Amino acid sequence: MLETETTTRRERRIAARKAQLLDAAAQVFSHKGYEKATTKEIAELADVSEGTLFNYFATKRELLIGVAKAYADEVAADIESVQGETFEDMLAQLAANRFRRGRERRLFMLFLYESRLNADVHQYYVEEALHRIIDVLEQRLTALIDAGVMRPVDPALTARMMSATTMGFAALFELGVSMGTTSPETLGAAVTDIHLNGLRNQNGANQDV
Amino acid sequence: MLETETTTRRERRIAARKAQLLDAAAQVFSHKGYEKATTKEIAELADVSEGTLFNYFATKRELLIGVAKAYADEVAADIESVQGETFEDMLAQLAANRFRRGRERRLFMLFLYESRLNADVHQYYVEEALHRIIDVLEQRLTALIDAGVMRPVDPALTARMMSATTMGFAALFELGVSMGTTSPETLGAAVTDIHLNGLRNQNGANQDV
Amino acid sequence: MLETETTTRRERRIAARKAQLLDAAAQVFSHKGYEKATTKEIAELADVSEGTLFNYFATKRELLIGVAKAYADEVAADIESVQGETFEDMLAQLAANRFRRGRERRLFMLFLYESRLNADVHQYYVEEALHRIIDVLEQRLTALIDAGVMRPVDPALTARMMSATTMGFAALFELGVSMGTTSPETLGAAVTDIHLNGLRNQNGANQDV
Amino acid sequence: MLETETTTRRERRIAARKAQLLDAAAQVFSHKGYEKATTKEIAELADVSEGTLFNYFATKRELLIGVAKAYADEVAADIESVQGETFEDMLAQLAANRFRRGRERRLFMLFLYESRLNADVHQYYVEEALHRIIDVLEQRLTALIDAGVMRPVDPALTARMMSATTMGFAALFELGVSMGTTSPETLGAAVTDIHLNGLRNQNGANQDV
DNA sequence: AATGAATGAGACTTCATTCAT
DNA sequence: TATGAATGAAGTCTCATTCAT
């Protein structure tokens, strides 16, 4: 029906505007930090007036929450798409999508910081993104342990450890800590190697480190 | 001599004031973030007037730099004190001192964020604190690899991985991600176990994960 | 077209606001001096909020520069309009427009002082206002000397002397130094008389003073 | 008596301190302007603590008044010393002492500005310095007119005109308006020449300018 | 629905003045 | 008497938010 179509078209336009504003907000927030970012700059980057921005998002904070929500949605979609992969590929894919691009790393740094200061951001980033990733890792680990492929370690803790390592690397990268000439692939492989096989020299097993 | 004593007393008083202000600043910055923290609140917490604060630190930013510098000094002292320990104990000690107490974890989150936005903070946190820790780990790893105790992995990368894991755990903790009932000690032991021995079940070695 | 009209109307409104603020600023600056003037008082006199003031002038200093620029524009227009007058009339007109009204005298005192402390004010007041007046006087004097109407004095120096005298009178007036019952016209005539004919009694020429 | 001597010595010490502070204040005030000058900087330049400064002058404004008073005293002494000179020499001497040195010109600019804003400064600068100079010029002019050496111009107005010209030149100088290669002496001679003999070419007298 | 000028609360910072030592 | 740390009032400027057009 015409009415429905009109409404739909409007809704599409509204959604597009919101997305455009969220994009600009994500960019400015992740570069300058939430507090230093100004609604003026976000509006300019989105090529709308400041008044228009506030027609779509009632407060600056709602913009941040919107960015967090969009991020959580991306993560959810990503998790869906890796369900069929091997554990190693899944791990690589999740990490890559989260941290390979600068934009994602910067958003990660942003949420890492803002989650502590805002309950809504925490809700979207920690509960709906981070926890989902951890949960899917934990399930896979449990299965691998049950199958006898992995040692009977605590799967919850191990999933968190894997996330922690990846997050830590992203942070180090973002802080400008050099990784030598190592490519992301080599780095991923090396980390996986250590996680799977350990550091200990098996020829000289049980030596005290 | 009297002159010396007087000077010393004054210098002591000034140093004490500075420390008192840095303490207050560390507290407020780490709870609210640099931008949301106000000099008013810091001054109140330090129990001095706002004017007095600016007698000791010319700008709010200098206060942040002061906090970062104090942190770097603590880390340097800490590194000195762990030189005699075994690798495992050293690792545990460095991690614990950096992340066991909430105060330290919050400062870590603060610097993690602000290092990207301020060159001085980067200087103190990344170069004078983080890099020192990584370097000392790298040296130890190199020695252990040379001694044949560990496999010939890349020591630079492995040192970064260990730091990354610890940092990631601190972040997860700070984000309120539950670690189950695991105590810090158990957690440390489990992580060390995986790092040393790997996840792979040796009985079924070379199975695809 | 509507677009053009709308733009023009907005631009007119903005120009009007700026003028209104510059007017208020000129008034407050010239009465209290730049440093003692507050943006609060200027905004109140212009009947806008302090925030609005800063939408039009980024800093208090820019407001001062704006006032100086407006003054220089007035002088430039004034110089255009006196090109056709006789030397005497031109002199009287330039002096009158600069110093007859209290507002102009106070602005003169303001720029006299602030030109030394601010390069932009110097640019507008000294270079674009004062120098123009001196130059036009100098040109006229040169012509009159060439025509044999005036003695072959140094025209550059004489132009400066005439300006100096006028400026000095304005200052004396502003300092409240009484000129007796002398009207501005009488004063102007007397000064011109002395400048043209000198003080020396020609009947007793060459007497030592 | 010992008592008297002690008192006298203290008074001398106090007077010396005051002079030292006034000197520093004159320097800072005349360079930065009264408002931009800080008591801290004045104290440092006088090589005493800020607290000590306030032991000798209750407020910053009293310092300014003190500087003005000292200036008026200098002028008074100067006037005494030129009583025996010829009119021309007297004129030259008074002008030179007031404006030849940068320090004096800057103080002149300071008082010119601050006299309008502070009654005490006005009292000392305008009434006790400027007026005295004008008065002595006026008396001399009256005598010269009575003696028939000068034309019967209004002596009050003429004295003000001479002061105005000198003040105006000082201001021009301070504003950086170039006087060509003219030395102060040449300039003084040229001005005196015009004042005495006028600009008009006597060969072509009564021509319209 | 879009605009952007207006607002005003609140931030950082300065500095004359006070006062305990 | 000299000191300089402490004070707090007041100033400039920023920016999220509102609102008339």
Q: Where is average pLDDT lowest: A120-124, B98-102, C47-51?
A: B98-102
Q: What is the pLDDT of residue D204?
A: 46
CB pair distance less than 8 Å for D172 and C177:
no
DSSP lists the bridge partners of residue B179 as B181
Distance between CA B198 and CA B178 in Å, rounded? 23
More confident residue, B203 or B188: B188
Q: Mean pLDDT, to the nearest integer, of B56-64? A: 97
C206 touches chain D (CB under 8 A): no
Q: DSSP for A124-187, please give it.
A: IIIIIIIHHHHHHHHHHHHHHHHTTSB----HHHHHHHHHHHHHHHHHHHHTT--BTB--HHHH
Q: What is the pLDDT of residue A81?
A: 94
User: Mutate which of A175, A183, A206 to test chain B, going by most B C-beta atoms within 10 A?
Assistant: A175
Confidence of residue B186 (pLDDT cuts 50, 70, 90): confident
Confidence of residue C52 (pLDDT cuts 50, 70, 90): very high
Q: Which CATH class is domain C1-58?
A: mainly alpha
| Tokens read off for C162 | 């005439």
**Which chain E positions come under 7 Å from a protein C-beta?**
1-20
Using CA atoms, how far residue D149 sits from A48, C151, C203, C204, D153, in Å, is 81, 22, 9, 7, 11
Topology adopted by domain C60-199: Tetracycline Repressor; domain 2 (1.10.357)
Q: What is the pLDDT of residue B203?
A: 54
Q: What is the pLDDT of residue B180?
A: 78
CA D171 to chain C, closest CA, distance in angstroms equals 7
Closest chain B residue by Cα to residue A149 = B201
Confidence of residue C80 (pLDDT cuts 50, 70, 90): very high
pTM value > 0.85? yes
Q: What is the pLDDT of residue B46?
A: 97
Closest chain D residue by Cα to residue C119 = D175
% of chain A residues with pLDDT over 70? 92
pLDDT digits (tens, 9 = 90+) for A10-44: 888 888 999 999 999 999 999 999 999 999 999 99
Closest chain C residue by Cα to residue D140 = C209
**Of C142, C200, C189, C89, which is closest to residue D202 (Cα–Cα)?**
C200
Q: What is the pLDDT of residue D168?
A: 96
- Contact status, residue C168 vs residue D164, Cβ threshold 8 Å: yes
C191 touches chain D (CB under 8 A): yes
| Tokens read off for A125 | 């980033």
Of B122, B131, B194, the CB nearest to A161: B194
Contacts of A168 in chain B (CB under 8 A): 163-168, 171
| B9-68 residues near strand E (Cβ < 7 Å) | 37-40, 50-51, 54-55, 58-61
Interface of B with A in 133-162 (CB under 8 A): 134, 144, 148-151, 153-154, 156-158, 160-161
pLDDT digits (tens, 9 = 90+) for B101-132: 999 999 999 999 999 999 999 999 999 999 99
CB pair distance less than 8 Å for A154 and B180:
yes
pLDDT digits (tens, 9 = 90+) for C8-17: 778 888 899 9
Residue C165 scores a pLDDT above 80? yes
Q: What's the distance, Cα to Cα, between the start and end of chain B in Å?
A: 75
| D48-67 residues near strand E (Cβ < 7 Å) | 50-51, 54, 58-61
| A38-97 residues near strand E (Cβ < 7 Å) | 48-52, 54-56
Closest chain A residue by Cα to residue B199 = A196
Distance CA D40 to C1' E19 in A: 17
Nearest protein residue to nucleotide F1, judged by CA and C1' positions? D52
CATH 1.10.357.10 placement within chain D:
60-199
From the number of C-beta atoms within 10 Å of its C-beta (0-12, 13-18, 19+), residue B171 rates as: buried
Q: How open is the CA angle D49-D52-D58, to the nearest 5 degrees?
A: 130
CATH 1.10.10.60 placement within chain C:
1-58
D181 touches chain C (CB under 8 A): no
CB pair distance less than 8 Å for B179 and A165:
no
CB pair distance less than 8 Å for A158 and B199:
yes
Distance between CA C13 and CA B194 in Å, rounded? 71
Distance CA A53 to C1' E2 in A: 10
